[in-house]
Structure 1
Amino acid sequence: MHGLSKRFGGLIAVDALDLDVHRGEVFGYLGPNGSGKSTTIRMLFDFIRPSTGTYTVLGGSGADPAIRRRLGYIPGELQFDPRYTTADLIAFYGRLRGGVDTTYVDELLERFDLDPVRPIGQLSTGNRRKTAIVQAFMHRPELLILDEPTAGLDPLLQHEFHQLIGDVKRDGTTVFLSSHVLPEVEALADRVGILRKGRLVTVAAIDQLQRQARQHIDLYVAREASAEPFESLPGVLSATSSGTVIRLVIEGNVDAVLKQAATLPVRRIVTHETDLEDAFLSLYRDEPSP
């Protein structure tokens, strides 16, 4: 995507996106509802046209049927004909895509415990989502574009979906995963782009974002100690003491904190693993509005 923008009247839904997704990676596209994620995806498929900018999908246009056969897609809002069964849908999309491996389709149906003969209109929200997963993966696409793919799935099926993403990634499939479920993206993605009001705030590897996140460190000391000496140190956002435990929230380098800790009879240091949610919230707090 190069300078990709979409305006609806006076509303800028997507604002001058410059983004490359690399072949073979899982790319997490993050942002709260209304940030422009689904609008971006609709442009990639030519469901809506950009106001300005350009894009390519697998070297061509998402409107090209030859390109679409190489894609797998799960929309955020499922709109299957309720009269179709899952088997009907598989047959229909299978013909559009030039045929599918029926053995692999059967494996997917069994993996997600999906009855293919019930009309889709009679299925629960979770089972309709499972139907969407099967039709997106069944032809072993080169690129999967997934918009909130696990919405409505129970935790066990979410785990199964995560395993499936790992399987196709090992086979070289590229995955563009749009989500606001931070733990899911953290577990699956190699890199993430964070969208805020239609504009990219950052693009970074997961481990890079974790390093930028605020760190939580607890110092267990042999006697009661005050947190006051830590309060003015560089990068310390919060320092509190409860008897023999000093709790610190730190952003950036911890060198000054460790030197100060060395002046105390520290018996144990506990560091809490940073996660993507902390980095995400930090970016949203600190970044000015577009």
Structure 2
Amino acid sequence: MAIGGSSRRNDDDVRFSRTFTVALFLLSIILIAFDRPQSRPPLLSGIRTTITDLSAPLLDLAAAPVRAVGNIEPYWRNQGRLAEENAELRRRLDETRYWRDLALQLRDQREVYEQALNVESQAMEERIGAWTLGDSDGPFVQSRLIGAGARSGVEDGDPVLNVYGMIGRVVETGQVSSRVLMLTDLNSRIPVMADRSNARAVLVGDNTAYPRLEFLTRDADLQDGDRIVTSGDDGRMPRGLPVGLAQRDRQGRWRVRLFSDQAPIDFVWVFPFTPIPPPVTETEAVEDTQPDGDEEQTAEAGQ
């Protein structure tokens, strides 16, 4: 009995009074109510903001060593990745220099061969740079407006390329702007060829991201991944402009994944192109040099 009475007395010692419990409950309700930003008094908000402003620099200073220790491993990991990327870029730079020297050698050889054979190559003037804009009010579904026109030397039919490949051709030319018909538009038709086998085709747009290859012969040597370039068979654009890679769709039809899709079409280059004129026969040359009948009659009347 003595033990039981002692334990009861201990329980009575730690038991809170009813008044204190009710006071704590009311205080909790008040703190919860005032914790809402819309219900917080201005004085309490000011005190809280002041405490936060004073403690933020101290907390940031205390956390600086922890952040420094935590950033050691990511820093050295990033340094290793940067070293690998630098080595890869140096390797690509050396390879680019090799191809540049090879291109210059081939250019010199071509000039020598053209002079020896008395052959006039297709003329391509200096490229013209221009920014592009969307063309929501144009007559075509997929077209772009560029900030270069006749004053800059742009003409209808000139090919337009971005940094990776051809995007379309000029179809309308103004004084300071031009409209470019994209290769993906339904009205686009471009003669192309496979760079590996010279297989000819026509690149036909259908308002999708992958234009079709039409008019291929049955025995055309074409494989997935073949590089497609312009053939120049229409005489309106040069041969060899990069277009894309050949691939089959689910229906087994040949399509082209355009090179130009690898980068945003924001800045482009227009390549003015002067086609080779057709040969003039001796009869046409003589007719061009002879005066017209009306001019002869006018001359006789003057005499």
| Structure number with larger C-alpha Rg | 2
TM range (shorter): under 0.3
Higher relative contact order, structure no. (Cα contacts within 8 Å, ≥ 6 residues apart): 1
Higher helix residue share: 2
- Calculate the TM-score normalised by the size of structure 1: 0.21
Higher strand residue share: 1
